[in-house]
Amino acid sequence: KAGVTQTPRYLIKTRGQQVTLSCSPISGHRSVSWYQQTPGQGLQFLFEYFSETQRNKGNFPGRFSGRQFSNSRSEMNVSTLELGDSALYLCASSFFAGDQETQYFGPGTRLLVL
Amino acid sequence: AQTVTQSQPEMSVQEAETVTLSCTYDTSESDYYLFWYKQPPSRQMILVIRQEAYKQQNATENRFSVNFQKAAKSFSLKISDSQLGDAAMYFCAHMNRDDKIIFGKGTRLHILP
């Protein structure tokens, strides 16, 4: 079974630009979550999607948005990039069976904003 | 507000020994989840253990087990028979039901051969 894939793996943008990151979950997983990891702020939750609906959102400005498609693939978009948006963006897909959760992470997309 | 505190930024343990990573959290809710994640160097994040607050029994996953003390709001991770592959950054996290997850700052674990 293929793992969680994230594209692109590395990205360099300049301030003011926008960026779209993609995440393909494990087949059969309907939940996709996004996280931002920086040396200063650590790991922070961005949002979670389940069956194309956003179930939860972290404390990020409206420049950060996301969506999920009918095949469970998810995209996140950051508009008007700022230097502080440089980070590793992680995506995870989850499968729930009763009260058990199985979660797998992708390798991440490393974004550098210049 | 939810907070998660990992008081040990770094720890070292001899291979084959047992090590305990500490985590405390703060919440006003009674129904929540707790997690330990492992992030090896240059490798993907892994969910190690998940604990539901309403379950008194401590979660276990092979050599990994937790000591969940709800009243003390403590959730420590014990790694038995430490192996070189256990070297990683370990994150403790807390999530109130239907709310967002909050992570601690992490503990970097070194395994000494």
Bridge partners of residue A19, in order along the sequence: A78
The number of angstroms, rounded, from the C-alpha of B54 to the middle of its chain's C-alpha atoms is 18
Q: Which two tokens stand for residue A98?
A: 């009763």
Q: Rounded to whole angstroms, how far apart are CA atoms A11 and A13?
A: 7
Q: Are A27 and A1 in contact (CB under 8 A)?
A: yes
Across A18-37, b (16+ Cβ under 10 Å) vs e yields: ebebebbbbeebebbbbbbb
Collapsed DSSP state (helix, strand, coil) of residue B62: coil
**Alpha-carbon separation of residue A13 from A30, A85, B36 (angstroms):** 30, 10, 33
Other residues' Cβ atoms within 10 Å of the Cβ of residue B29: 12
pLDDT of A1 > 70? The answer is: no
Q: Which residue of A has its CA nearest to B50?
A: A101
Find the residue in A nearest to B106 (Cα): A42
pLDDT in tens, B50-93: 999 988 889 888 999 999 999 999 999 999 999 999 999 999 99
Q: Which residues of B touch A103 (CB under 8 A)?
A: 47
Residue in B44, B93, B100 nearest the CB of A58: B100
Rounded Cα distance, A37 and B15, in Å: 29
Tens of pLDDT, residue by residue over B3-26, are: 999 999 999 999 999 999 999 999
* Residue range A68-75: mean pLDDT, rounded: 96
Listed in sequence order, the DSSP H helices in B1-91 are none
Q: Which of B21, B28, B10, B20 is nearest to B94 (CA)?
A: B28
Residue A78 has pLDDT above 80, yes or no: yes
| Cα B96 to Cα B112: distance, rounded to the nearest angstrom | 36
Which residues from B are below 8 Å from A102, CB to CB? 47
**Residues of chain A contacting residue B104, judged by C-beta atoms under 8 Å apart:** 42
